[in-house]
Structure 1
């Protein structure tokens, strides 16, 4: 009695197998035709084509490696700075206490480096030296047969993450020039910070050549490396007490305002994607949104931790240490979300999760803490 049922399922699976075989044959047909044509040619034609194919294989192997391997990625990277050991604010003259029985000898005057500048420069180094800058790579710009990689599920996560980090780096550079690196109203703009800001505003996608000009160009990573060098130069000047870091509470308020506004803009993008495109694991743009937001949180975690060291006196005087510590803890908690596949399902769905809503929730929590800290500082 089971024979008809067994025969039915055999026919079903046989039909599925034939269908899969037909799809594979359809995909491989152009490659088979090209291979047959190639085998029938002489070495005068085979040689150059083979060299071109080997170069393409090499370029794409490098491209796949760079997009999939994240060198230096560490959600606990802030621990390397030992910010808890800092005893003085950025820009203040260093003080040393002689041991018992020792006579204090005059030492060269030095000042405390800015942790914000150090972290910003290191984030640039992470983006363009420890890793290749994906957005301006030729094969990334060419896309998948002309289709932008951002519109596919592949090879775009690292680029989006890097752009999220870079967005915070750019914002921080602007604040360093406009307020933190000068005494407003009584000092000029620091030249090193000004150059760094200008170079960081350069677009993120320039390669050595472009369609708008036949002349060679300076690629994007070179501009960012120059900005990194200028930031380190500023900190060297600050350490020598030849530059200014203005650690006033109103400057900290302005920095928090800008960071909070950036988080608000990103959560709006996440909300729009989460609300109107519930395609679960098949939403090819959800990963771009997620990893951009993740990169933003990754960089803000470092910048806010550094600001806690540079503005330690202000934070202690206003009694906001618990709130500050809680905000940093929330940033670190958000970095634990590292799904292998980004899903943009419905918020009330039970099969496909909604990673965009999850990371958006963490961003809103952090933003609300920024606003609360800002309100306390403004009183």
Structure 2
């Protein structure tokens, strides 16, 4: 029997202190060589165990084997030079030093498939794996070769599809594409962004998800959010397009955001991974806080299509805070699950 309101996390969990610097986004590894490989597997195993202990139904790797949710994938591709770096504006929010596309991009071997296979061995629960979306990938690079954001996005979409098919073969049940850039470049999303995303998912039997958020709880993102006004209506631009797309699940930031809940109605018919945990605050939500958010959402999404989740990744948070938030997510979903069961009995 399928669980009603199955819980999940969007992406990252904090890494152990022996693997990377705590509470630091994209921290360098503290280990190297065989020790690093073993340490990553140990961290992944711990992440799975903690999700199980905290009642998370759809299990992920917590990005324990990745330093960065975009560039760790790009590092394994040909055509990108990490020595030649340029400063670019990331999602029109902050400047960052990024690698340069110097030739045709290609994937010579799988990137995450071995890690996904290891994850599959750790649990009998459904598993989810996240990949960067094509538009967010091109926004994290300087392109000296294609000189066209659209052309490069289509190349990345083809590469992502190769990786996604092998992740599916390794036993991944849900393949998620992270596209925070969808909240910024609306013309491109309409013109080719959704089509490129669909190319990345072509031919998959695994469920597909797109995660669109307002970013980690870092200063640059928080400063940007402060400029967005009393209502954040960016999803109004993208949700109608996604509702008509082949993507199965739409993942959005919700709890403690200024996203009007009624925007969820725009993806009616899709599964919705609803962010009911604020990752920009170290305050641990109460189960009732989570339940209130889920109850509000159920006015706009059918219960059998609601997946309670986090707003975004939790890598910068203290580990005890992140784990406490997982427990709150599960407990809040359980409250609403029981209410729904009582209403139908």
TM bin, normalised by shorter chain, reads under 0.3
TM-score norm. by structure 2 comes to 0.27
Larger Rg: 1
TM-score norm. by structure 1 comes to 0.25
Q: Which has the higher strand share?
A: 2
